Structure 1
Amino acid sequence: MLNLRQLEVLRAVVQYGTTTAAAEWLGMSQPSISNTVRHVETLLGLKLFDRVSNRLVPTQEALTLMEDCTALFQLRDAVNQKAADLKAGRIGQIYITATAELSEALLPRVMAAYKTEHARVKLTLETNRIENVLTSVESGLADIGFMYSGYQRKGVVMEPLATIPAVCLCRHDHPLAGYDEITPADLEGVDLVGPQTENRAGLQIATAFRIAGHEYKPEVEVRFMNSAAQMVRSGWGVTITDALTARNALTPDLVIRPFAPQVDFLLTCVTASHKQIPRHLRRFIQQCRGVLSG
């Protein structure tokens, strides 16, 4: 039974016509090439080369053998190329999970920029609640997760990406649009839509209201801040949301104003603690940082 190296030697001799040239191309010694040719001829019981004017001319049997080997070498080369691409992070697949705000306001831009540079890496995005984002990453169903103000959990690693401030989003003709900044006192008696206090973003906003001596009581509660922003965009109320979501929802009919006291949402990515981050995933994280800083 011939092995791949022996077939590679035969192919080199057929291609270059001398054992010296074949040895140089393969990085072997000339005697090793000659010994391999003799060994294969003995093993097969076939004469594979005729010596003509100091050149080795392949017999018909050798040419037939090489024809059958073409597909084998093409497959070998393809496997080697794929291995090199994997090592360089040019191919692969990334399963992403994120909360709704980031699935809408951030990740489409990151994914578009990443695919422009890494067309052969497949991307899959799933939108989830924070708890499910963490579970998906920890269990291996997702390679990476994105969330605001995530909490530490065994089995995952939280990597801070950016601090995103809370802002007020309202229509340009709303009385609050003329303010330099919006405070909890300014929101008294205002139609307010905002995140539930059961989630961390809502709890942070409610804490800021309490510190300022006011109660956070939105007339419309939502789980995700992008829903609140879209409601304001549709013509009802005012919301306190993260700056990324506000900018994503912004139209000529809307304005963004700073919110005080300052509330910061920590944007983090989550990976499994028991897995090494592959190169193509690390590049995705770097792409995210680039979009955030752009």
Structure 2
Amino acid sequence: MEILRAVVTYRTTVGAAERLGMSQPSISNTIRHIETVLGFPLFERVSNRLSPTEEALILLEEAEPLFHLRDAVNQRAGDLRGGKIGRIRIAATAELSESVLPRVIADYARDYPRIQLSLETRPLDSVLQVVENGVADVAFAMSPYERQAMNYEQIADLRPVCLLQDSDPLAKLDVITAKDLMGAALIGPQVSTRIGLMLADSFRAQGLEYRPSIETRFMNAAVRIVRDGWGVALVDELSAHTELRPGLVIRPYGSGQSFDLCAAMQKTKVPSRQTRRFIEMFRERVALRLEEVRAESQRPIA
């Protein structure tokens, strides 16, 4: 698979041989052997270059998790060789990577300076996949889909809120409903996301259609648009408070919903002491932050 990947990347056996430190005949012989075993061609020669067939590309796509695992093993070996005590590989969606995790990572690094931390910011499905494949030790996400190979540990319930200009007529309301948002310049999560589906359900329950004027994949993007002077963002309370400043207010969204903030781990793998310690620190910091933001929600902004 390594040879196949190199030939697909460089489109010549010479380039693949240089990359892998092998001879060009060895590369060619290996490709011919693989094609014989598989019973179908992997490359077509086009203008002295090798063009991969659709079958070759499908094989590489299926093998990609194996390369991730190899890289993870190599990285761990490097950590041990460098004398590091441990490492925590964290994955999270963009909202959490900007709202809570930076503070937790900074505090953890200060308390445990010999533990190496890494953070991968990805869409929800990819965040869960890297944990499922063993590339990350823990993922943090909101309202994740159930996966057979995953364990979810609840951290907190996050409330949906609206972030808007204090001059907006909706700012006079104590609670904003789906009906209030009809006709508003709404910015919200795409329906293709889990949070977007939940919000669409809240509109549907009132006999209304969820149709944001601007859709975003990540809620931190929605609140930045409001920060820059346009619209009403329908997001989680932590994301909203990352951009709260004079001229903006936050109002509860009256759907009765909440978003589960979870830590996701492999079901068959016991988390390390370092990972367990990080999760508990994350839980504590989230609880403290929620106390702060909920106290601030009804406080006027100078």
User: TM-score higher than 0.5 here?
Assistant: yes
Report if the CA contact (8 A) 1:91-1:118 is conserved: no
Report if the CA contact (8 A) 1:167-1:243 is conserved: yes
2:83 is the counterpart of 1:102: no
Which residue of 1 is the match for residue 258 of structure 2? 264
- Once the two structures are TM-superposed, the CA of residue 130 in structure 1 deviates from its matched residue by 1.1
State how far apart, in whole Å, the 2-side matches of 1:263 and 1:198 are.
18
Segments ≥4 residues shifted beyond 4 Å? none
Q: Of residues 121, 128, 137 in structure 1, which corresponds to 2:122?
A: 128
State how far apart, in whole Å, the 2-side matches of 1:289 and 1:148 are.
14
- Which digits, 9 at most, give the CA deviation of each residue in 1:217-254, with x for residues without a partner? 10111111111111111111001100000111111121
- Which digits, 9 at most, give the CA deviation of each residue in 1:131-187, with x for residues without a partner? 111110011111110111012212221111110000011011111111101011111
Larger radius of gyration, structure 1 or 2?
1
Which residue of 2 is the match for residue 217 of structure 1? 211
Question: Amino acid of the residue matched to residue 174 of structure 1?
Answer: D
TM-score by length of 1: 0.68
Which residue of 2 is the match for residue 286 of structure 1? 280
2:158 is the counterpart of 1:177: no
Report if the CA contact (8 A) 1:225-1:242 is conserved: yes
- Which digits, 9 at most, give the CA deviation of each residue in 1:57-89, with x for residues without a partner? xxxxxxxxxxxxxxxxxxxxxxxxxx9xx9xxx
State how far apart, in whole Å, the 1-side matches of 2:226 and 2:176 are.
16
- Which digits, 9 at most, give the CA deviation of each residue in 1:4-63, with x for residues without a partner? xxxxxxxxxxxxxxxxxxxxxxxxxxxxxxxxxxxxxxxxxxxxxxxxxxxxxxxxxxxx
Report if the CA contact (8 A) 1:160-1:268 is conserved: yes
State how far apart, in whole Å, the 1-side matches of 2:250 and 2:162 are.
6
Unaligned runs of 5+ in 2: 1-79, 289-302
State how far apart, in whole Å, the 2-side matches of 1:278 and 1:160 are.
18
State how far apart, in whole Å, the 2-side matches of 1:225 and 1:284 are.
24
Unaligned runs of 5+ in 1: 1-82
Which residue of 2 is the match for residue 9 of structure 1? none
Which residue of 2 is the match for residue 4 of structure 1? none
- Once the two structures are TM-superposed, the CA of residue 113 in structure 1 deviates from its matched residue by 1.6
Q: Aligned ranges for residues 234-273 of structure 1 at < 5 Å?
A: 234-273=228-267
TM-score by length of 2: 0.66
Q: What is the DSSP-based 3-state SS (H/G/I as helix, E as strand, rest coil) of the residue aligned with 1:133?
A: helix
Report if the CA contact (8 A) 1:212-1:261 is conserved: no
